[in-house]
Homo-oligomer: A and B are copies of this chain.
Amino acid sequence: MKILYHPDRADIHLSSVLYALSDPVRLLIASAIRKSDERTCGDIDVPVVKSTLSHHTRTLREAGVVNVRIQGTQRFLSLRTEDLEFRFPGLLTSILDAFETSDEKKKLMNPD
C-alpha cells in the first residue's frame, strides 16, 4: 500500500499551515471536511477538476492540515484538528470561521 507523507505534530509549522490555507480552493476543501470526521475526495464539492483537487490535497497534507487515508481506490480526508489545536490553539477555527463569511467562499460557490 502506498504510504503518504504526513508531518509529525512537532514538524507542523505555522508558516506552512498559513501557506496551505492561502488559496480559496484549499480553504474550501478544509471548510468542507470541517463538519465531518472523514470525507472522500469525491464527496467534496469544489469547482475544480480531479487533478487540481489532488494537487491541493497534497499541499494541505504536506503542511499538516489534513490527514489522507487510502482505502481501496478511495482517499478519505480529515482535518488534523487535534494536532493543529495542540500546536496553534484557536488558529484553525479563526481561519475557517473567517472563510465561512468571506467573499471568496461566496465567489467559489456562486461563480456567476
Which residue numbers of A lie inside 8 Å of B, CB to CB? 13-16, 18-19, 21-24, 27, 87-91, 93-95, 97-99, 102-104
Contact = CB atoms under 8 A, between A and B. Distances in A.
Copies of this chain, complex-wide, total 2
14 contacts: A13-B102, A13-B104, A14-B95, A14-B98, A15-B22, A15-B23, A18-B18, A18-B21, A18-B95, A88-B94, A88-B98, A90-B94, A91-B95, A93-B94
Nearest to A21: B18
Contact of A24 (B15, B90, B102): B15
B18 A22 contact: yes
Contact of A13 (B14, B93, B97, B103): B103
A76 B99 CA distance: 30
Nearest to A19: B22
Contacts of A95: 14, 18, 91, 94
Q: Top 10 closest A-B pairs, CB basis?
A: A19-B22, A88-B98, A18-B22, A94-B94, A90-B94, A18-B18, A91-B94, A14-B102, A91-B98, A15-B22
Q: Which of A18, A88, A102 has the most CB of B within 10 A?
A: A18
